[in-house]
Amino acid sequence: MRAHGIEWFRGRLGQLLGWERESTDAIGSWDDVKLLEVTMGRLVRWYREGLLCIGDAAHIMSPIGGVGVNLAVQDAVATARLLAGPLLSGTVTVRDLARVQKRRRLPTVFTQRSQLAEHEMLLRPGLAGTLRADRLPLPLRLVRRIPALHTVTGYLGGIGIRPEHAPAFARRPA
């Protein structure tokens, strides 16, 4: 991109994002452009004796959809529910820590795979300038045509496939 020059970059942003010239002109030089390196991954094992990794420490998420924070909070809630008893009694074992990873592995894998699909269907073609409203990928066309899928995709993005609920001791009395 740098080889094309800052003017080309400003023009490309204007095209892709529909920004007016006054907005793109605010980018004075390449010093104003920051690169966000997006990676995804997860630890093979989230725990060892005396240590449990959850959230970003256990699984790096893409910023796509903003769901990483949801997953991290759900990890914390599951951890509280599963480890409160052993922590209070001072008897936390590696097996207890493994239960947290076992509980949270499926939602993590599902979310990361969903994000990869979004990268391939939306982000990559959008950045390449090949994403066209009249030729959307099949899953996107289905979401557009079937209103119930709006609810399903919203639920999966916001709540996930394995919602966690605070343990009774952590809830406010009704």
When pLDDT is cut at 50, 70 and 90, the band that residue 162 belongs to is very high
How far is residue 81 from each of residues 18, 67, 84, 88, 169, measured CA to CA in Å? 46, 21, 6, 12, 9
Tens-place pLDDT, residues 93-130: 999 999 999 999 999 999 999 999 988 888 888 878 88
Residue 124 pLDDT: 86
Tens-place pLDDT, residues 42-76: 999 999 999 999 999 999 999 888 889 999 999 99
CA 136-69-13 angle, to 5 degrees, is: 45
DSSP E strand boundaries for the chain: 41-42, 47-48, 51-52, 59-60
When pLDDT is cut at 50, 70 and 90, the band that residue 149 belongs to is very high
DSSP 8-state code for residue 63: S
Residue 66 pLDDT: 84
Tens-place pLDDT, residues 2-13: 899 999 999 988
All structural domains of the chain: 1-35 (no CATH), 40-170 (3.50.50.60)
Q: What are phi and psi of 41, to 5 degrees?
A: 180, 175
Output the average pLDDT for the chain: 91
Q: Which two tokens stand for residue 71?
A: 């997953």
d(CA 170, CA 157): 25
Among 60, 29, 28, smallest CA distance to 42 is for 60
Residue 79 pLDDT: 97
